[in-house]
Chains A and B, each alone.
Chain A
């Protein structure tokens, strides 16, 4: 599998990659937090504001029609990218967090009662913990947690035993933002469905790595953020099976989500509009579609392949450093590598790497329960994208070596 562009061509598409940080060439390895945007997205957003800005679905005029068409075309692009069954199953939100909160609220209103149970995993981002906790508090329901091994693999045996007749929904992450583990979501969904229980998959860390097919996974909800898949900020997606979305009450009221409004009674619009109250981030949605088109044109499998090869290089290089601890050691993982060099604090490591121009993330990565599971206060996380180079990975390894010398 080969990318359709050379690495030089690809890097030229991302102007920010030529930034200098503290006078050194920036080495951006914080792609798990947010990804950089190609010119194809930046220029399109610019063009939209210059030539095609009007409110969607609200006008009879030329510009409104043009932008509404492009907004709906963006929905179709997202549908095709994740292989959803129908375009109305794609709801635009402001991001993963908003998508999960929408489901937790709407599903919770409809289906959760006192004593019911909700299952999440021990490796969730706070965005897939807190909304469910809030729901549990509102409805006096119970949160149950799937444990995982030292390697960072979910314990499916334990998962099966957590499923009871009180379980109402399962919400798990496709890929751990700390460990990089790709969870067996297809199996998790199949097992839940055997009990008639729907599953939400948090795709914030899987969408950018090429391999998402919601119909193959058969999940009931799949959510992700545009900014983590080379698209703009403030746009995200909530995919839901049509049957499910039709059953749920809307989460927010306002314009566009209604069919008919009187002071006595309001009837709601059909999906997806029922869940898109108010003026949506239509420029963001169109920009997101451009980002997905960019990845498709590069070759999704080739993107995944390149990232795996960079990950292998980083893992080999870092593992050779004495005393290093890597968190997330299953071979079935994406290009995210969490580590601690010996007893050196993640913050010390991150500070020194920063001075070398290397951007990594340090801390708990919004996954405090996971840190507690390992008994640590945080990690250093390098998250690699296809636009990173072999030289950058070598620089990271060299940088971490230097850190271990400085703090020896």
Chain B
């Protein structure tokens, strides 16, 4: 699936929920099921600034594809991170750099997050794009 197809799928999933409580319960479930994170990467280098909860984001790049893993100390944040990974992970740097991210608004996450918190969310998206940009530049120079 390409990035937009994944986003549409997520929007569909969230469309089934009646109220905010169900949406958050789903986020919490997603947070619980977030894959393991290598403790060795829990360093300042991979810590994202601007979040109320701590978020570590670790990229790896193999065969032209970027894979992200992430960790957070807050469960709802883990849920959000899980969604971002689902959207961004497994794509080429160019696909990530060019992606138009619209699912956050469509599932009512942005409006439910206060400015400082949504900064945290935006900081994660920005960081993922930055890694993609860096890998893209590397590809073009090699």
Which A residues have a C-beta under 8 Å from some C-beta of B? 22, 344-345, 347-348, 351-352, 354-355, 362-363, 377, 406-407
CA distance A355 to B75 in the complex (A): 16
Stretch with Cβ within 8 A of A (4 or more), from B21-29, B81-89, B95-103, B126-134: B21-29
Closest to A364 in B: B52
Whether the pair B74, A406 counts as a contact (CB closer than 8 A) is no
Q: Which of A345, A354, A355 contacts B74 (CB under 8 A)?
A: A345
CA distance A1 to B77 in the complex (A): 46
Which residues of B are found within 8 Å of A377, using beta-carbon distances? 54, 73
Q: How far is the CB of A146 from chain B (nearest CB, A)?
A: 29
Q: How far is the CB of A296 from chain B (nearest CB, A)?
A: 35
CA distance A377 to B55 in the complex (A): 13
Whether the pair B25, A406 counts as a contact (CB closer than 8 A) is yes
Q: How far is the CB of B79 from chain A (nearest CB, A)?
A: 10
CA distance A407 to B25 in the complex (A): 9
Q: How far is the CB of A405 from chain B (nearest CB, A)?
A: 10
Which residues of A are found within 8 Å of B73, using beta-carbon distances? 345, 377
B9 CB within 8 Å of chain A:
no
CA distance A345 to B54 in the complex (A): 10
CA distance A168 to B117 in the complex (A): 42
Whether the pair B53, A406 counts as a contact (CB closer than 8 A) is no
* A-B residue pairs in contact (CB < 8 Å), sample of 6: A354-B114, A362-B52, A363-B52, A377-B54, A407-B28, A407-B75
Which residues of A are found within 8 Å of B112, using beta-carbon distances? 22, 355
Which B residues have a C-beta under 8 Å from some C-beta of A? 20-21, 24-25, 28, 52-54, 73-77, 112, 114, 117
Which residues of B are found within 8 Å of A351, using beta-carbon distances? 24, 76, 117
Which residues of B are found within 8 Å of A363, using beta-carbon distances? 52
Whether the pair A355, B53 counts as a contact (CB closer than 8 A) is no
12 additional contacts, CB 8 Å, given A345-B73, A347-B76, A377-B54?
A344-B75, A345-B74, A347-B52, A347-B53, A347-B74, A348-B75, A348-B76, A351-B117, A354-B114, A406-B21, A406-B25, A407-B28
CA distance A407 to B73 in the complex (A): 13
Which residues of B are found within 8 Å of A345, using beta-carbon distances? 53, 73-75, 77
Whether the pair A406, B52 counts as a contact (CB closer than 8 A) is no
Which residues of B are found within 8 Å of A407, using beta-carbon distances? 28, 75
Which residues of A are found within 8 Å of B114, using beta-carbon distances? 354
